[in-house]
Amino acid sequence: MHRRDLLRLIAVGGLAAATGCGARKPAVSATSLADLDCIGQHDLIVSGALSKEASITSAFERIDAVNDQLNAVITRDDERAIVHARTATGALAGVPYLLKDLNAYRDMRMTMGSALFRNHVPDSQSPYTDRIDASGLVVLGKTNTPEFGLLPTTSPVLHGPTRNPWNVKHTPGGSSGGSAAAVASRMVPAAQASDGGGSIRIPAALCGLFGLKPSVGRFPDQGYANRAWPISIKHAITRSVRDSALILALTENTDGGPLLPVGFVTPERRKRLKIAISTDTHLGPADPNIVDAVVEVGKTLQRMGHEIEPVSDTPHHDPAFDRHISTLWGHGVFGILQQVEADSGTTAENTGLLEPATITLARRFSQLPPDALQTALDYFQVFQRGTDDFFANYDAWLTPVTSAVAPEIGFMDPSLDFDTLTERVTQFARFTAIHNVAGTPAMSIPAGKSDDGLPIGVQIAASVGAEALLLQLAYQLEEATPWADALPPVHA
């Protein structure tokens, strides 16, 4: 569907009918608004049953109701959001939204989960964020994230841990854990997230939500020029597939770039696909509950008519990958450590401005051979070509998102012994980062619960630029095994 067709449908209030999955009955109470996705709320606004201002005030009421239990939202601006709502235009005008605290929003505090930026208020924002504003989504505030988004959990020293709505003793994942907890608990229907190693997919999986990591180059300003390798990309965590598809269409690059625009993807039966399936890496298999979920999704796809082929030799089986990705992440924070020490005239440890894990990661990088970063970048080029070759034989690839369900808060705490922390993170988050290096799109699909009642997500990836294929598969799975109505114990 072209953008002009999308806007025409919205203008006549026909978007819910056109998208099919997830359509809901109009309602205006705060309780029933919590059950609606972005498109469902906007349909009410278009119909006149809900004002844009009421949409926003209701969302703040939901935040008030559950945020003390979850610590998902760490900055908010009620007055600014309501003023914005009154004049908002665009395809999702008046729908409440939250930004992850790694994304700059003009004149709103942005800490990046670090004491170093505790009082930082940017005076500008990126063209990507401009597109969020232009979509009509109304930014209510910022969600919690680990320091600089480095960990697959959300427990920054500055703000404290965010808790999983399914069990508050457990993490919602990271680094977009605040966004995932906010969406799962019904504070907002969707929230902005970013992914540099799994940070959209992991919290989506741990909170029973949908999370798509787009292809590298999908957006106009992901800061690639300032990075040694373009691994991180922004998008959203949502409850419905159609919300993710629409937000992607409203924010993607349509003015020329390395990829053709996806547009707004709607449900459509695709041809029979050849889908690889694997449940292990060079570190061994995922936990039994995770493996069972992946196998069950594979069976569901097979019943739909797709060809499922088990594979044992995949890009996940290269033990060198972990070393080189650690080098890249270390390079990313080494410059921060140098600046802190130059500005303060003392060691970073003495300033209290950086967390222990961040400092150690940077110092470990400084101890590597001078050519370590270039060696990693050379390796990534070869790895990227190898991943492209893998997808030349398959339309998609089904795997776990994480090796286990959500661990308890503290299991990956930034104050742990660094080697212990590194081992736990590497084991837990070993299925996602390869798609950041390769630039391939990958998504987390809800796939039931563990024996302990914690959500499980499975990952489906495809070749660069194939977001439409993934979204079509997501629509099919959403229809076959609906997940959007599942309520966690902590919800608004």
Angle at 253 between CA 258 and CA 2, to 5 degrees: 110
The whole-number pLDDT of residue 271 equals 87
| pLDDT reported for residue 17 | 34
SS3 (DSSP) at 170: strand
Looking at residue 4, what is its pLDDT?
40
CB atoms within 10 A of CB 438: 25
Model-level pTM?
A: 0.94
String of DSSP letters for 451-485: TTS-EEEEEEE-STT-HHHHHHHHHHHHHHS--TT
Q: What is the pLDDT of residue 249?
A: 98
Are the C-beta atoms of residues 173 and 152 closer than 8 Å to each other? yes
Beta-bridged to residue 139, according to DSSP, are 97
According to the model, what pLDDT value does residue 268 have?
87
Catalytic residue check, 175: yes
Residue 31: what pLDDT?
Answer: 61
Give residue 222's pLDDT: 58
Q: Is 281 helix (H, G, I), strand (E, B) or coil?
A: strand
Q: Which two tokens stand for residue 189?
A: 């229907």
Tokens of 368: 């590597």
Using CA of residue 127, residue 141, residue 242, residue 37, what is the dihedral sign? negative
Q: Which of 283, 311, 307 has the alpha carbon at shortest distance from 433?
A: 283
Q: Which of 135, 199, 240, 403 is catalytic?
A: 199
> Is residue 271 annotated as part of the catalytic site, yes or no?
no
* Known active-site residue 32: no
Helices (H) and strands (E) in the chain, counts: 18, 13
Q: One of 55, 58, 175, 326 is an active-site residue; which one? A: 175
Catalytic residue among 52, 55, 58, 100: 100
Q: Do 102 and 149 meet the contact criterion of CB atoms below 8 Å apart?
A: yes
What are the structure tokens assigned to 24, written together? 């809901």
pLDDT tens, the chain, 492 aa long:
343 433 333 333 334 333 434 433 334 566 689 999 999 999 999 999 999 999 999 999 999 999 999 999 999 999 999 999 999 999 999 999 999 999 999 999 999 999 999 999 999 999 999 999 999 999 999 999 999 999 999 999 999 999 999 999 999 999 999 999 999 999 999 999 999 999 999 999 999 999 999 999 998 765 555 678 999 999 999 999 999 999 999 999 998 888 999 999 999 877 899 999 999 999 999 999 999 999 999 999 999 999 999 999 999 999 999 999 999 999 999 999 999 999 999 999 999 999 999 999 999 999 999 999 999 999 999 999 999 999 999 999 999 999 999 999 999 999 999 999 999 999 999 999 999 999 999 999 999 999 999 999 999 999 999 999 999 999 999 999 999 999 999 999
Contacts (Cβ under 8 Å, ≥6 apart) of 306: 272, 273, 274, 275
pLDDT for res 32 = 84
Alpha-carbon span 465 to 218, nearest angstrom:
8
* Six token digits for residue 266: 């709607």
Task: Select from 2, 474, 42 the least CA-distant residue to 241.
Answer: 474
What pLDDT score does 13 carry? 35
H/E run at residue 280 = strand 280-281
